[in-house]
Amino acid sequence: MTTATHQRPSRGLTALVVPLLAGALVAVALGVYGRVHTPTGFAVGVAGFSAALPMKAWLTTGALVLAVVQVVSALSMWGRLGVTIPPAVHRWSGRLAFALTVPVAFHCLYALGLQYDVPRVLVHSLLGCFFYGVFTAKMLALPKRDAPGWTLPVLGGLTFTALVGLWLTSSFWFFTAVGIKV
């Protein structure tokens, strides 16, 4: 093979080193903080809700709905739907979805910490750390034009999957075990 026709398999992978390392650092830092921080047990900022659990369940549900909008608008942007959804819909649904997760994560870390006594809660805690780590990696990989073409679909898919897992281990559990409350 000549140099002109041979492509290195690692083309663009070096562009992902910093985003992936930063994402891993965020995930580990959240897990360590959640484990070593003494949970307060007090709910923070439940304005408009009867308690912390309904607040977390509904905000996470809102984030999940917006994440579905993210997937549909991403498919549209990549020409996979046959309809055009403006890129601004993708950007703003992502911003709003992320914003809805922040008070939930803050409450989880501040009031509850990373717990491992109950399998569902352990999975939820680990998914929360993973979600913020992979989200960080995705946001840092966005401006990397030399990253492989699979980067954003894979990181976006992992972010979406983590959020679905978070919803299943929290909101879905809450709605089915406790009931639908505001």
Q: Is 174 exposed, middle or buried (0-12, 13-18, 19+ CB in 10 A)?
A: buried
Residue 41 placed within a domain: no
- Residue 34's pLDDT is 93
Whole-angstrom distance, CA of residue 93 vs CA of residue 16: 25
Residue 98 has pLDDT above 60, yes or no: yes
Establish if 64 belongs to a structural domain.
yes
Q: What is the pLDDT of residue 89?
A: 96
Q: What is the pLDDT of residue 6?
A: 47
DSSP 111-167: II----SSHHHHHHHHHHHHHHHHHHHHHHHTT-TTS-TTHHHHHHHHHHHHHHHHH
- DSSP 8-state secondary structure symbol assigned to residue 15: G
Q: Are 175 and 57 in contact (CB under 8 A)?
A: yes
Q: Does residue 35 lie in a domain region?
A: no
pLDDT of residue 11: 60
Work out the average pLDDT over 94-102.
Answer: 96
In-domain check, residue 16: no
Is 30 within the bounds of a domain? Answer: no
pLDDT tens, residue by residue, 4-56:
444 455 667 888 999 999 999 999 999 999 999 999 888 776 778 888 899 99
Where is 60: in which H helix or E strand? helix 52-77
Residue 178 buriedness (CB in 10 A; 0-12 / 13-18 / 19+): exposed
C-alpha closest to that of 109 among 99, 120, 101, 118: 101
pLDDT at 103 over 90: yes
- Judged by DSSP in three states, 118 sits in coil
Residue 10: its pLDDT value, please?
A: 60
Residue 56 domain-assigned (yes or no): yes
What local confidence, expressed as pLDDT, does residue 86 receive? 93
The tokens for 48 are: 């408009």
Q: Which pTM value belongs to this model?
A: 0.88
Between 129 and 182, residue with greater pLDDT: 129
Range of the domain at 112: 52-177
Q: Is residue 45 part of a domain?
A: no
- Given a contact cutoff of 8 angstroms between Cβ atoms, the answer to whether 125 and 37 are in contact is no
Q: Count structural domains, the chain.
A: 1
- Please state the rounded mean pLDDT for residues 118-140: 96
Note whether residue 23 is domain-resident.
no
pLDDT of residue 2: 45
Q: Residue 102's CB: how many other CB atoms inside 10 A?
A: 12
Mean pLDDT is highest, among 48-57, 87-96, 107-116, for 87-96
What kind and span of H or E run contains 149? none
| Percent of the chain surpassing pLDDT 90 | 70
